[in-house]
Amino acid sequence: MKKWTEQITTIFKNCYKWYVPHFHLAPQKAIITWWDDWKVFRFRKGEADKMRNAWLARASKRLRELFHGIREKGYPSYWIPDDIFKRLKEYWASNEYQALKRTNKANRASVIGGSLHIRGSVTYSATAENMSQELGRTTTHSEVFTRIYTKKKDRGQWVDKRAEESNQLCDDEIKQLEEERIELITAGCREPPPIEYDAV
């Protein structure tokens, strides 16, 4: 949903004037302002709630990504007022946030970290390129992941439990994105953003 994400990004950068360390802590006034600015799609009467719920999930994820880019990659923070940015930096340096960060990292590692793979020294990108040549088309992330983390003699058997769980998480996210897109169509959206499967 690249177009949808770009629109949300533009709204945040044009109208971020509240201290919001996490999207779910945003004041109601902020949510209403961002939502009203984003409502560019037309939808049938009575379907606004479905559209709004899908938007809330996407906006929450995008704000996390924007903050991550500033903290970890040095992306510019010009769109955040100086006084609010000072408070954000204090929060990110706090013991509370650092503890939360370590917990989230450990949770991710328990599911997708440390999985075995059977491709030897062949890189992910090389595997994807080789598969594309074999299939005569561009491969998806899911296809490459399956090739790397399943046994050569039995592609239906994962090399370990973590690989299987990680694949399930990916499938679940794709299912959620597809359901969100159906909701947009049902709500009357004439041109819903396409799903970027390779980005999942």
112 pLDDT band, cuts 50/70/90, is: very low
**81, pLDDT greater than 90:** yes
94: left (phi over 0), alpha (psi -120 to 50) or beta: beta
Task: Over range 193-198, report the average pLDDT.
Answer: 58
Element (H, E) at 156: strand 154-158
pLDDT at 108: 58
| For the chain, percent of residues with pLDDT exceeding 70 | 74
Element (H, E) at 151: strand 150-151
Task: Over range 30-43, report the average pLDDT.
Answer: 78
pTM value > 0.95:
no
Please name every residue paired with 154 in a beta bridge, in sequence order, or none if there are none: 151
Phi then psi for 47, rounded to 5 degrees?
-105, 5
Question: Where do the domains of the chain lie?
Answer: 2-111+172-199, 116-159
**57, pLDDT greater than 60:** yes
Instruction: Please give the C-alpha separations between residue 9 and each of 40, 58, 65, 74, 194, in angstroms, as whole numbers.
Output: 14, 10, 10, 17, 17
**36, pLDDT greater than 80:** yes
